[in-house]
Structure 1
Amino acid sequence: MEGVEETLRTLSIARRLRPEEPAYLLDVALQPAASARGSALAVTCSDLSLHLHDNQTLALLGRYQGHTDTLCGVAFAHASPDVLFSASADGTVRVWDARQPGAYAVRVLTSDASHRYCSFDRSCDDRLLCAGTEQVDEEDSFLVFWDARVAGTKEAQGTGVLGVYSESHSDDVTQVRFHPSSKDRLASGSTDGLVNLFDLSRGSEDEALLATCNSGSSASTVVWAGEELTRILCLTHDEGLHLWDIGRLDTDEPLTVHSVGDARQLSPPGGGGASVDYLVGGMWLEDARRLVVVGGASGGTLHLMECDDKGLRLLSSLQGGHTSTVRCFLWDAVEEALFTGGEDGQLLLWKPGGEELTPGKRETMKSDSVLKLRSRPHKRHGHERRGGGGGGGGGERNSAQSL
């Protein structure tokens, strides 16, 4: 872990890209390094565009247009690095050719006309696509699946939908995350407070649902983590943090590894009084076997914190970068580089010992961006949560069950 700590501790800005036109940066994805052209970085923006950047210089390679509402996810195919997916509240998942930035979508995937997507992912073998919808008719929300090999083609029937889960969530499905190495495992999180674990190989929705954990709040982020990738990190829209070990499902041990209702009340050990005003997300560092949670302070500082059974411990604080809320980040393990983007419209590349080529920083655009309304936060509901609380020790045993 000392090597990772040293790497994270010495991160500094190597490149900074300021946009010509202000837009929030919402999500980021890295192209697999399987192309002679090198890797590209895909970034979704609040102006409904999708940008492609060089991952070394951050130079803009091109942009895609086509979505008509807020983008909710972007990802490259694992085995086909030139295949790029994006999903949107306009009810479409679009497939792009990364070799032709600026071109029209190669395929457009849809489902029911009432569906507005607010989360998206693809399986580790690239065969399945899944999008989570916003709430429909005040009580229903859906997980929609497509077979990526035929969806949107002549071989697909109707909209090309392979199947739909409709009973597991009752509000916006804010996160869908396929397991990094098990093609049939899927975790979903929702503003109904529930995080569900599925084994898609079991067929029907009832049979596929393996476990339900309750965060007690609106789930914003779900991350697979742990030595055997059996732990699930859940962050909530009110800055709560929960770490569950689903490897304990068949034991009498409590699923909760660590839980805190409001991380803003914490001062991470070793942080010298560092404040955490919001949580951005989490990342599992496979080589280091460590779970890192990224949090931010109102002044623009980013905190990288290790999360384990003992709670949060500050690893590094990154300063001098963003001037407003950070919305997205991505760790490139090969290059030992961190990419971050946020509401100030800046895209930053951090590297150990990096020296910024373009000094200075853009003033915050948080208060005067006319585009902020297009990137609305998920609503929070006060209705009764199913399955009890997700708090301490064994509290979730009643809300996490093997089916």
Structure 2
Amino acid sequence: MEIIENTEIDKDTVSSKELESLFSKKYNLLAETAVTLKKTYINKLSVSKSMNIAVRLLDNSIEVYRLDKSSLSKVCRLSGHQQSLTEVVFSTKEDHLLYSSGDGGVKLWDTRTSGLCVQEYKDEERQPHSYTCMDVSCSGRVICAGTETEQNDAYLVFWDQRKAEPLGGYWNSHTEDITQVKFHTDKSETLASGSLDGIINIYNIEEGTEDDALQYTLNVDHAVEKLTWLDHCRLSCATQYNDLQIWDTTTADKLKHYDREKICRSIKRSRADECHVADAYLGADGRPVVLAGSVAGDGGVLRSVRVSTKSNKLEPLTNFAHNKQLVRCAAYDKQRDILVTTGESGLIDVWGGVTDGSDEPDEEAVPKKLHKSLRLSDKRHKPY
């Protein structure tokens, strides 16, 4: 049987005039910077509450920027890392940056000193793990890192941020590489982990044992690519098949499931196999938003759609017409209505929502320096 290759070029399914009308929520490009003149790729992004921005580059360096009104200024560059960096996360003390690496290291850096390592976390009692992902709780107290598969199991390791020695770990919850660990944005005891095994686990790490800590196991059928907490109970999951699921973590119910074909149609593109899901977040109106694009051509197509309140449909929201790269990472600030995107062209783009139909950015949405201290919770956690 002759196999006929699909040579159709991915393209818009509606006219440019219809795109303008359908994607009615406008965002202006407030700031843009190229992290290097060389060809590079940004695949990790962290944005603090005061709009400090950290990105991980292909050469395993980290660059930190500060957004001040409509400009991005470089704070520092952290370089010289031998192993692949797998995650970059700001601590609640916003001048402190955490990262995990493939050589079994989790380190805490002070960005005010041009990159001084102030703490290194390792599991000295066991052979060093290869960490694939990492996160810190909203209280700033607990760090969790996930590992590659070791002897048919993958592990979660925990630390108190103030101490180098681990608190303990969970050893029996995943059978393949852990790709994501995400603490709840408001509840420091709640943790979600996702893996290549197609499983999401929800934990209460205040429980004394792993069995008691495991609250729910969610079967997403495909390898987990990205987890995002939308609100107090809803968790979004983008899979490596570029579909998106939304789960209620208090009942273990799957609330929404959008496959690649449906997302492709919703962003008004013609080829589902070129559709790429960048992320999901909770929009300014409290509705989940899916950020997606096309890998065709230069990857410049980037659009957002939001979940309908009346049906299972995805409604057109924004066409980011000035986007110049295939976006791999995004972070949204709901209070300021600001979206930060990075991707395969090494650009950091900051988008500001337009209000009242104006083409000018909302000046109140542009961040100012925040002068408030963030205290760590006094409550002790026992994730072991």
Shorter-chain-normalised TM-score: which range?
0.7 to 0.9
Q: Deviations over 1:41-69 (max 9, x none)?
A: 11111210110112132232220124322
- Matched to 1:306, the amino acid is R
Q: Quote the residue 1:50 is aligned against.
A: 62
Post-superposition offset of 1:312: 2.3
Separation of aligned partners in 2, 1:161 and 1:180: 22
Post-superposition offset of 1:267: 4.1
Post-superposition offset of 1:354: 6.2
Q: Quote the residue 2:10 is aligned against.
A: none
Q: Quote the residue 1:190 is aligned against.
A: 195
Separation of aligned partners in 1, 2:193 and 2:42: 23
- Matched to 2:136, the amino acid is R
Q: Quote the residue 1:292 is aligned against.
A: 289
> In the alignment, is the contact (CA less than 8 A) between 2:23 and 2:317 conserved in 1?
no
SS in 1 for 2:186: coil
Separation of aligned partners in 1, 2:133 and 2:116: 22
Q: Quote the residue 2:32 is aligned against.
A: 16
Within 5 A, what are the aligned runs for 1:1-400?
A: 9-18=25-34, 19-33=36-50, 39-56=51-68, 57-78=71-92, 80-101=93-114, 103-111=115-123, 112-137=126-151, 139-150=152-163, 152=164, 160-226=165-231, 229-249=232-252, 255-260=253-258, 262-269=259-266, 271-273=267-269, 277-285=275-283, 288-298=285-295, 299-307=299-307, 310-323=312-325, 325-351=326-352, 352=354, 353=359
- Matched to 2:172, the amino acid is E
> In the alignment, is the contact (CA less than 8 A) between 1:268 and 1:313 conserved in 2?
no
> In the alignment, is the contact (CA less than 8 A) between 1:11 and 1:354 conserved in 2?
no
Separation of aligned partners in 2, 1:20 and 1:273: 31
Separation of aligned partners in 2, 1:180 and 1:334: 14
> In the alignment, is the contact (CA less than 8 A) between 1:303 and 1:317 conserved in 2?
yes
TM-score of the superposition, structure 1-length normalised?
A: 0.75
Post-superposition offset of 1:32: 2.9
> In the alignment, is the contact (CA less than 8 A) between 1:65 and 1:104 conserved in 2?
no
Unaligned runs of 5+ in 1: 34-38, 153-159, 250-254, 356-403
Separation of aligned partners in 2, 1:284 and 1:72: 25
- Matched to 2:47, the amino acid is L
Q: Deviations over 1:269-313 (max 9, x none)?
A: 5x455766111111224x532211211112311111213662422
> In the alignment, is the contact (CA less than 8 A) between 1:128 and 1:146 conserved in 2?
yes
Q: Quote the residue 2:378 is aligned against.
A: none
> In the alignment, is the contact (CA less than 8 A) between 1:267 and 1:275 conserved in 2?
yes
- Matched to 2:120, the amino acid is V
Separation of aligned partners in 2, 1:274 and 1:14: 30
> In the alignment, is the contact (CA less than 8 A) between 1:281 and 1:294 conserved in 2?
yes
Separation of aligned partners in 2, 1:87 and 1:144: 12
- Matched to 1:303, the amino acid is R
Separation of aligned partners in 2, 1:300 and 1:62: 28
Q: What RMSD, in angstroms, separates the aligned Cα atoms of the two structures?
A: 2.4
**Identity among equivalent pairs (%):** 29
Q: Deviations over 1:243-279 (max 9, x none)?
A: 1213335xxxxx121123x32454455x455766111
Q: Deviations over 1:341-367 (max 9, x none)?
A: 111111112223469xxxxxxxxxxxx
SS in 1 for 2:173: coil
Q: Deviations over 1:92-111 (max 9, x none)?
A: 1110112122x331111122
Post-superposition offset of 1:16: 2.1
Which shows bigger deviation, 169-178 or 20-29? 20-29
> In the alignment, is the contact (CA less than 8 A) between 1:24 and 1:46 conserved in 2?
yes
| C-alpha spacing 1:201/1:8, structure 2 compared with 1 (3 Å) | farther
| C-alpha spacing 1:8/1:134, structure 2 compared with 1 (3 Å) | farther
TM-score of the superposition, structure 2-length normalised?
A: 0.78
SS in 2 for 1:174: strand
Stretches (4+) displaced over 3 A: 5-8, 264-269, 271-276, 352-355
| C-alpha spacing 1:336/1:246, structure 2 compared with 1 (3 Å) | closer
Separation of aligned partners in 2, 1:256 and 1:55: 37
By percentage of residues, which structure has more strand? 2
SS in 2 for 1:99: helix
Post-superposition offset of 1:334: 4.2
> In the alignment, is the contact (CA less than 8 A) between 2:246 and 2:255 conserved in 1?
yes
| C-alpha spacing 1:336/1:125, structure 2 compared with 1 (3 Å) | same
Q: Quote the residue 2:375 is aligned against.
A: none
Post-superposition offset of 1:225: 2.1
> In the alignment, is the contact (CA less than 8 A) between 2:23 and 2:319 conserved in 1?
no
| C-alpha spacing 1:107/1:332, structure 2 compared with 1 (3 Å) | same
